[in-house]
Amino acid sequence: MRVAAVRQGAEPGQRSAKYLPERSSLVGLSWVNFLVAMMQTGFGTFIAVNLTSAHWSRTDVGLALSVASIAGIVAQVPGGLLVDITQRKRRAAGGAILSIALAAVVLAVWQEHAVVYAAMALQGSASAVLTPAIAAISLGLVAKTKLAQRLGLNTRYAALGTALAAGAMGVVGAFTSSHMALLLAGLFGFAAIFALHRIRGVDLARAAQITDHVAVIPLAAGGQWGTRRNIAWNRDLLFFAACIALFQLGNAGVLPLAVSSVLQHEGSRGDLVVAAAVIVSQVLAAILSSPMGKMAEQWGRRPVLMLGLGALVIKAMLFAFDGSSLLVVIYQSFDAISAAALGVILPLMVADITHKGGHFNLAMGLVGLASSLGAAMGTAMAGAVADRLGVTLAYGLLAAIGAASVLLARWKVCETGRC
């Protein structure tokens, strides 16, 4: 066990960072982010490919994706509370990963509507636990001053995992079938469970000696700071959550619309086009994630938030003007900016807001609830508008929603690094 020197000058009664986790725990956290992202890549884009190839309409595909979001809506706040309460955050994360992996396997085997909806509901509800669990583990393994850097690493490994999985699934889907791509997603999930066990329980148990964030002490272990009501009605949290909801409302439907158009024009080669679009955007996100963490520390949280939100506006407008298959890869690269910026900013701003009052995971659940609401309405809305009024108008609507999220961030979101 490796213990750091005691920090000098701490005030009496304050918790000081005396302990450093083993490197294996930090490496394990990186691998978990990498493999979970590989698993989750099978959902969303490749689900759309799988269902479209099974002759589902764009409206039905949008509805299937919305089922996962609706399940997430129901599970977000309970999932956050569960992670707040439990002292076994690794076990919570492991159970969620196993559930998602099993859902991928089920989707690979059956395309009946009822089975697909049930599997998507399982994936959505498990993700509502997994996201705050990974964020809580990250929060407990690094000092507050290094949290932005750690979140940048999380985003980098997740982006690399998404890029690699998209390539592998794209090749597998093109040369075998999209069903095999989903089986591959399940395999990545089982590997993530093994990576999770590299994170040492003793390091998480001593989180209070690593960071002074009050949320690292579980409620079950006597951690009671502030009240849940104060978190639920926190002005800074509510405006931030509204920005994320608007972003997801606009962003969730963009790529599924593009996938449907690509498959109509490219046929079986559409898998490769979609894979290339995802790979390029995720490689760029991996490159940008660490700079985004540094920018959040140097410039502040709000400019990075606005940068991530604004990229949606440009992407949707470009698709509205020309959504040809060749340009999909280029346009989707703007998603890298959003992924890198929001991957760092979302848990970082929530950690800022809850630093004194605690309930970090509950707050993550509330923001996740807003995100899920936006995504649920966004995918269904985009598919329905495209089917009835045309794809161009649908993209224009998504761009306008993205612009609204930027304006809200500019005028109502607090700079949480200082407030």
- Does residue 9 register a pLDDT over 70? no
Query: 23-212+229-412: what fold?
Result: Growth Hormone; Chain: A; (1.20.1250)
- Give per-residue pLDDT as tens, 206-251: 767 777 676 666 655 454 445 555 676 788 899 999 999 999 999 9
- The encoded tokens of residue 4 equal 């750091």
- How large is the average pLDDT for residues 87-100? 92
What local confidence, expressed as pLDDT, does residue 418 receive?
A: 66
CA dist 357 and 213 (Å) reads 9
Top-confidence range, 87-91, 209-213, 336-340, 411-415: 336-340
Q: Does the predicted TM-score (pTM) go above 0.85? A: no
54: helix, strand or coil: coil
Domain residue extents for the chain: 23-212+229-412
Residues 323-336 have a mean pLDDT of 77
Q: Specify the higher pLDDT residue, 113 or 238.
A: 238
Q: Are 127 and 3 in contact (CB under 8 A)?
A: no
Report the candidate in 65, 63, 48, 69 with the shortest Cα–Cα distance to residue 260: 48
**What is the average pLDDT value for the chain, to the nearest integer?**
82
Q: How crowded is the C-beta side of 171, counted as CA atoms within 13 Å?
A: 7
User: Taking a C-beta distance cutoff of 8 angstroms, is the pair 363, 353 a contact?
Assistant: yes
Contacts of 38 (CB under 8 A, 6+ apart): 161, 162, 164, 165, 185, 188, 192
Give the integer Cα–Cα distance in Å for 44 and 75: 19
Encode pLDDT of 280-325 as tens digits: 888 898 899 888 988 888 888 899 999 999 999 999 998 888 766 6
